[in-house]
Amino acid sequence: MSGQIPLLVLGDTVLITIQVDLHDRLAVQLRDDLSALLARRGCSGVLIDISALDLVDSFIARQLATMAATARLMGARTVIVGMQPAVAITLVELGVNWPGLLTALNVERGLAQLSEDHGVEQPRA
C-alpha cells in the first residue's frame, strides 16, 4: 500500500498513471515529486491518468487541484484524464468544485488538449 507513483517523462510532458489506492500521505508525496521534477526538467505539460481509480474523495480531489495549480505556477498545464463515470457522479454529489482544472476523457485526448494549448495563454475560468 505504500511505495511511490512513477513519473514518466515523454518529451515535454509528464505522464502520471495512478494505479494504487491513494492514501493521503501518498497523494501529498506525489504533489511534491511532481513539483521537484518540473523544476528539474522544465516540462510544459502534465497528464494525470486516474482511470484506475475507483475513488476520488475530497482530499484526493484537493491534492489533484493543488498539483495542477503548482504545475501551472511552474509553467506546465495539467490535464486529468480517464475519470470513471461513477467517480465523476460521486464527485459532483460530494460537492467538489474544480475551477480551472482541465479534464479529458482519455490519455489520447488529454495529449491532444496539451498540444493544442501549447504556448498559448488562455484565460481560465
Partner 1 sequence: MVWSNPEHEHYDVASQEDVVRVRRAVQGYAERLGFSVLDQTRLMTAASELARNALVHAGGGEATVEAVTRGLQRGLQLTLQDHGPGIPDLELALRDGYSSGDGLGLGLGGAQRLAHEFEVEPLMPSGLRVVVRRWRGQP
Q: Return residues touching partner 1 (CB under 8 A).
A: 1, 21, 23-25, 54-59, 61-62, 84-87, 89-90, 93-96
Which residue's CB is nearer to partner 1, number 58 or number 106? 58
Instruction: Please give the Cα distance from 45 to 37 (Å, whole number).
Output: 12
Instruction: Please give the Cα distance from 44 to 39 (Å, whole number).
Output: 11
Instruction: Please give the Cα distance from 116 to 98 (Å, whole number).
Output: 21
Say how many C-beta atoms besides its own lie within 10 A of residue 114's C-beta.
Answer: 21
Residue type, 111: L
Provide, rounded to whole angstroms, the least separation between the CB of residue 18 and partner 1: 13
Provide, rounded to whole angstroms, the least separation between the CB of residue 24 and partner 1: 5
Provide, rounded to whole angstroms, the least separation between the CB of residue 102 and partner 1: 19
Which residue's CB is nearer to partner 1, number 25 or number 40? 25
Instruction: Please give the Cα distance from 37 to 83 (Å, whole number).
Output: 24
Which residue's CB is nearer to partner 1, number 18 or number 37? 18
Specify which residues 44 forms β-bridges with. none
Instruction: Please give the Cα distance from 11 to 105 (Å, whole number).
Output: 22
Provide, rounded to whole angstroms, the least separation between the CB of residue 86 and partner 1: 4
Which residue's CB is nearer to partner 1, number 3 or number 11? 3
